[in-house]
């Protein structure tokens, strides 16, 4: 299993994933061969199979590692004074920084992963679940604090939030990744805040008294 291999040699595990991103970014998912990934990583073909079951497992591991990195920063939702809107901004910023700093990774996850076999869709849905739960938690805490509109349909709001973030990355990729994706953190945050917030909110997420 990959997790066992990771404990054996994290550097080799990471090297294979990084090589897979580079190869898939150039050749696409279906055109990427495990042998070529191994050469790019500087390991023997058989070594790849000590860490991953097959090419599908490599692709799912790329997604799993990336999503884990994006959703790991949830401190703003915990403690005595949770701050859901700061958590939302952190989610957007981390998402844009993670993919914006690595256009090849963004290309694999935004384009090539959607060309994978339909059988992988259930795995993708499972891997994405922590991300969706993070958004659900932001909305739930926001409602508890009176910052998010009580009548808001959480499922629709979650789709709106994720869809806006996802489509912003898509537009960046399809226009050649010619600008800094992180410059869009504030505009996207402000748009989403206006969509879910109750009363007048400044863009730090603080509720203001309506005059």
| Lookup result for tokens 């805040």 | 193
Q: What integer pLDDT is reported at residue 209 of this predicted model?
A: 31
Q: What is residue 211's predicted lDDT score, i.e. its pLDDT?
A: 24
DSSP string covering 150-171, please? TT--HHHHHHHHHHHHHHHHHH
**Residues 104, 62 contacting (CB under 8 angstroms):** no
Which CATH fold would you assign to the domain 60-208?
Answer: Tetracycline Repressor; domain 2 (1.10.357)
Residue 1: what pLDDT? Answer: 40
CATH architecture of 2-53: Orthogonal Bundle (1.10)
Query: Which residue ranges make up each domain of the chain?
Result: 2-53, 60-208
* pLDDT given at position 200: 56
Residue 9 has a pLDDT of 81
Do 97 and 73 contact (CB within 8 A), yes or no?
no
pTM for the model stands at 0.86
Please state, as a whole number, how many other Cβ atoms lie within 10 Å of the Cβ of residue 10. Answer: 10
User: For residue 63, what pLDDT is reported?
Assistant: 96
Question: What pLDDT, on the 0 to 100 scale, is given for residue 80?
Answer: 75
Going residue by residue through the chain, which has 211 residues, state the pLDDT in tens, using 9 for 90 and above: 444 444 458 889 999 999 999 999 999 999 999 999 999 999 999 999 999 999 999 999 999 999 999 988 666 777 778 999 999 999 999 999 999 999 999 999 999 888 778 888 889 999 999 999 999 999 999 999 999 999 999 999 999 999 999 999 999 999 999 999 999 999 999 999 999 987 655 555 555 433 2
Structure confidence at residue 149 (pLDDT): 94
The pLDDT value recorded for residue 5 is 46
Helix axes 121-144, 154-174, angle to 10 degrees: 120
């Amino acid at each position: 299993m990959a997790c066992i291999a990771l404990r054996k040699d994290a550097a080799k595990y990471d090297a294979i994933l990084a090589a897979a991103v580079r190869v898939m970014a150039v050749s696409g998912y279906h055109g990427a061969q495990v042998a070529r990934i191994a050469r790019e990583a500087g390991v023997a073909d058989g070594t790849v199979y000590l860490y991953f079951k097959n090419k599908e497992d490599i692709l799912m591991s790329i997604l799993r590692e990336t999503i884990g990195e994006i959703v790991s920063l949830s401190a703003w939702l915990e403690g005595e004074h949770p701050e859901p809107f700061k958590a939302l901004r952190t989610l957007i910023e981390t998402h844009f920084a993670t993919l914006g700093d690595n256009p090849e990774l963004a290309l694999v996850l935004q384009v090539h992963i959607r060309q994978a076999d339909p059988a992988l869709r259930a795995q993708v849905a499972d891997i994405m679940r922590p991300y969706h739960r993070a958004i659900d938690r932001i909305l739930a805490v926001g409602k508890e604090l009176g910052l998010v509109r009580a009548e808001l349909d959480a499922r629709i709001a979650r789709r709106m939030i994720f869809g806006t973030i996802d489509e912003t990355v898509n537009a960046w990729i399809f226009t050649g990744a010619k600008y800094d994706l992180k410059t869009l953190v504030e505009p996207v945050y402000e748009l989403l805040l206006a969509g879910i917030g109750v009363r007048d909110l400044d863009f730090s997420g603080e509720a203001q008294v309506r005059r």
